[in-house]
């Protein structure tokens, strides 16, 4: 059981990393906590469900389509609302209110459109084989989901560290004022980051039916809480630190489900409490000195 728990925890952890990395990217660039993060993930899940149910489109292909659509939607949301928030006296507080309102609107529309009945996608949609890893059997859907998560995270790394817009994005993360003074178009970079952040949430949503089970319009709030815990564990504002947070959360969750299942739902809150108590800046966070 120990071997199975560790391997399944790593597979689940890769998905959790993908689940939280978009939230951390948006915070790192704009210092906004997207309280609608889980709701965009929910939309991605329903998009994959309907694409597979009505058109027989594989969730892996639906993921690619949803990424493109969500990048455009994210950029539209940014240019329509965020510059106005930034001109206010307290943009951080107003951003919380704004994204909370977006969350409630999405949930209300989703309930009307999809009803509250749980939906699911058959496991075979991502393959029906059974893989053997160190003598343990794992469903192909779990292995494929973890592999897709790792590929998408790797693309985020390439974007941040090996592209011109990625260099600009990391500059904005460091200081928006200094980035603007060096000629970087902060609004354009932020709009792209917003689009990519929502696209990453949607991408995780297409895989969620295979790792989280059934999907409902009200699943977003719990996912936002879990994602926030994951990014706090790694380091708030460090997108790639989310990978460490996701792996730790995945392993902790699987250990709890294997050995103390009745306490498994407390994992995100317990980890969040411990990190804030002993390492408030996150495991990869750095202490910043102000002169």
Which pLDDT tens digit goes with each residue over 242-258? 999 999 999 988 988 88
pLDDT at 289: 41
60 closest CA partner among 238, 203, 237: 203
Which residues is 133 bridged to in the sheet?
136
Token code pair at residue 129: 């084989």
Percent of the chain with pLDDT over 90: 66
pLDDT at 201: 97
DSSP state of 236: T
Strands, DSSP E only, in the chain?
Answer: 130-133, 136-139
Q: How would you label 97-125 residue by residue, b for 16+ Cβ within 10 Å and e otherwise?
A: ebbeebbeebbeebeeebeeeebebeeeb
Given a cut of 90, whether residue 12 has pLDDT beyond it is: yes
The span from the CA of 169 to the CA of 188, in Å, is 10
Q: How confident is the model at residue 26 (pLDDT cuts 50, 70, 90)?
A: very high
Crossing angle of helices 2-30 and 186-211, in 10° steps, is 160
pLDDT at 290: 39
227 closest CA partner among 9, 6, 15, 3: 15
Q: Please say whether the beta carbons of 211 and 145 come within 8 A.
A: yes
Per-residue pLDDT tens digits for 222-237:
999 999 989 998 888 8
Least confident interval from 51-55, 176-180, 264-268: 264-268
Percent of the chain with pLDDT over 70: 97
Strands, DSSP E only, in 99-181?
Answer: 130-133, 136-139
Which residues is 139 bridged to in the sheet?
130
Question: What is the residue whose two structure tokens read 């380091």?
Answer: 235
Q: How confident is the model at residue 286 (pLDDT cuts 50, 70, 90)?
A: low
Show the CA angle centred on residue 243, arms to residues 46 and 214, nearest 5°: 25
């Amino acid at each position: 059981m120990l071997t199975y728990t560790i391997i399944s925890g790593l597979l689940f952890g890769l998905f959790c990393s993908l689940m939280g990395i978009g939230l951390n990217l948006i915070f790192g660039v704009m210092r906004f906590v997207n309280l609608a993060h889980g709701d965009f993930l929910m939309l991605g899940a329903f998009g994959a469900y309907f694409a597979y149910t009505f058109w027989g489109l594989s969730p892996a292909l639906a993921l690619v389509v949803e990424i493109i659509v969500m990048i455009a939607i994210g950029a539209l949301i940014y240019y329509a609302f965020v510059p106005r928030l930034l001109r206010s006296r307290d943009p951080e507080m107003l951003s919380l209110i704004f994204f909370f309102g977006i969350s409630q609107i999405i949930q209300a529309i989703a309930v009307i459109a999809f009803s509250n009945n749980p939906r699911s996608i058959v496991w075979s949609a991502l393959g029906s084989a059974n893989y053997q890893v160190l003598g343990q059997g794992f469903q192909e859907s779990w292995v494929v989901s973890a592999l897709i998560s790792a590929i998408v995270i790797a693309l985020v790394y390439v974007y941040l560290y090996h592209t011109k817009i990625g260099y600009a994005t990391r500059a904005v993360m460091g200081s928006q004022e200094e980035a603007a003074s060096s000629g970087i178009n902060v609004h354009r970079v932020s709009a792209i980051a917003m689009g990519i952040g929502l696209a990453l949430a949607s991408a995780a949503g297409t895989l969620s039916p295979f790792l989280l089970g059934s999907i409902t319009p009200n699943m977003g709030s719990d996912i936002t809480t879990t994602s926030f815990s994951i990014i706090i564990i790694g380091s708030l504002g460090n997108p790639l630190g989310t990978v460490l947070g996701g792996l730790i959360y995945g392993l902790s969750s699987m250990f709890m489900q294997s050995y103390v299942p009745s306490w498994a739902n407390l994992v995100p809150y317990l980890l969040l409490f411990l990190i804030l108590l002993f390492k408030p800046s996150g495991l990869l966070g750095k202490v910043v000195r102000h002169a």
